Homo-oligomer: A and B are copies of this chain.
Amino acid sequence: MARRTKDESAQTRETILDAAEIEMQARGVSQTSLNRIAQRAQVTRGAIYWHFADKRALLEAMVARTHLPLRDLRECLSQHIPGNEPLWLLREVMRHGLERLGNDPRHRRVCHIVMHRCEVTDEGHPADALMRAMFEDAREVILSLCSEIDQLDLLHPPLSARDASDMVMAFVAGHYECVLRHPETHRADRDWAPLVDAALRGLITEAAARRLAREPAAKPRELEPADH
């Protein structure tokens, strides 16, 4: 068989990406041959080389398919925070970032691959560049929120906005690490709210913490995962 219709071709492309996700999650990127991916996708390597230049491009497409810039998340969430207060916004961003681990299996798989199933080299792996882009994107949003919080004098001394940002980044990254690498002991579908509150509580003044505890944030509507 050959020359399917355009829709079917696009479908083939998705099938290949799905197969790559599953195989790479199980065996690691470098241990997953294009042949294995082709077999799972019920095609030959020829099809893969038709749609993607090489394994690197395949990986990039895989990540791009699920990548939701945090900037957009902030935009979206900010519409649901009364008064747009940065502390409440930050709480929602953190909570949503962690809940996505349990809600969005594709995000979870891709993060798993990019974080643990893929070697980083000094010349820069394809996925590494994307990791860094995502990290920088998140850091920019979080640092700006922390700066706003700092300007409201809500940070617990002697913490700076930069310190708070580092803490939040490490908090999220650490829980991603635990959940993805040790799923048997760390479940993703837990209630993250108490942990987010505990993390924030350490960063802000006692007064701010008490206000935060009194006002459990309004739950925003569910966000649809980025389809692109």
Contact = CB atoms under 8 A, between A and B. Distances in A.
Chain A interface, >50% SS class: helix
Task: Give the number of times this chain occurs in the complex, counting copies.
Answer: 2
A167 B181 contact: no
A132 B182 contact: yes
A90 interface: no
Contacts of A117: 119-121
Nearest to A162: B185
A61 interface: no
A210 to B, nearest CB: 9
Contact of A178 (B163, B170, B181, B198): B170
Contacts of A200: 202
Tier of interface size on chain A: 35 or more
A202 B198 contact: yes
Contacts of A26: 121-122
A199 B121 contact: no
B31 A167 contact: no
B119 A119 contact: yes
A30 interface: yes
A82 interface: no
Nearest to A203: B198
Interface string A15-43: 00000000000111111000000000000
A94 to B, nearest CB: 12
Given A26-B121, A117-B120, A201-B202, A169 B178 contact: yes
User: Shortest 10 CB-CB distances between A and B: which pairs?
Assistant: A174-B174, A202-B202, A28-B119, A170-B174, A201-B202, A198-B202, A173-B174, A173-B177, A170-B175, A30-B30
